[in-house]
Chain A
């Protein structure tokens, strides 16, 4: 199976999941739900951008991944993990200090989405900025 197709399948499943979640939700959607939906939409857009990039590479018959793209992913993973630690500390800190009341599952969901968002943002930064070994 082509790797680019896999990215589109994941993005499609994510969209279907969000649609099912919104349409079958028995309670009225809260502000935080819209924030979650917004983050998921951003991630889907990122996945589609990533998929198109891979698809174009396959079309040009060039490797889907090479040493630079692997290095970008590695550096992105390291940075986003580092930022995620601070984000979880921040979430633990504000959990009981804000007016919006959420269940533990909702906080975990927010944290996981935040991690994914951090990853996407960091990847975009490194992708457009470039990476040099001597920095």
Chain B
């Protein structure tokens, strides 16, 4: 799973710290999310999508299982 948090953050011109405050997490959680080192809970994914006014599917990209 990858995400477009960094892209949308740049588009909305907000810092990692501001985004962290909006969704009530630590700044380093945003850093880890942007580096794809952490998968958020459904609630955090929803909160982030609300901040960027998009759907979760638009913010998080789910790769199909290549089986």
Bound form: Cα–Cα A68–B36 in Å? 13
Number of A-B contacts (CB under 8 A): 44
> Considering only CB atoms, which chain B residue lies closest to A53 in the complex?
B28
Q: How many interface residues does chain B have, given as a range?
A: 10 to 19
> Is A134 a contact of B26 with CB atoms below 8 Å?
no
> Is B27 a contact of A68 with CB atoms below 8 Å?
no
Decide yes or no whether A26 CB sits under 8 A from chain B.
Answer: no
Q: A52-102: which residues lie under 8 A (CB-CB) from chain B? A: 57, 60-63, 66-69
> Is A67 a contact of B17 with CB atoms below 8 Å?
no
> Is A132 a contact of B37 with CB atoms below 8 Å?
yes
Q: Is the interface of A mostly helix, strand, loop or mixed?
A: loop
> Is A60 a contact of B44 with CB atoms below 8 Å?
no
> Is B32 a contact of A67 with CB atoms below 8 Å?
no
Report if A63-B24 is in contact (Cβ < 8 Å); known contacts: A68-B29, A134-B1.
yes
Q: B25-67: which residues lie under 8 A (CB-CB) from chain A? A: 25-29, 32, 35-41, 44
> Is A67 a contact of B39 with CB atoms below 8 Å?
no
Q: Is the interface of B mostly helix, strand, loop or mixed?
A: loop
Bound form: Cα–Cα A62–B44 in Å? 15
> Is B21 a contact of A68 with CB atoms below 8 Å?
no
> Considering only CB atoms, which chain A residue lies closest to B35 in the complex?
A130
> Is A131 a contact of B38 with CB atoms below 8 Å?
yes
Q: Please, which residues of chain A bring their CB within 8 A of the CB of B1?
A: 134
Q: Please, which residues of chain B bring their CB within 8 A of the CB of A57?
A: 26
Q: Select which of B17, B26, B40 is within 8 A of A63 by beta carbon.
A: B26
> What residues make up the interface of B, taking CB atoms closer than 8 Å to A?
1, 17, 20-21, 24-29, 32, 35-41, 44
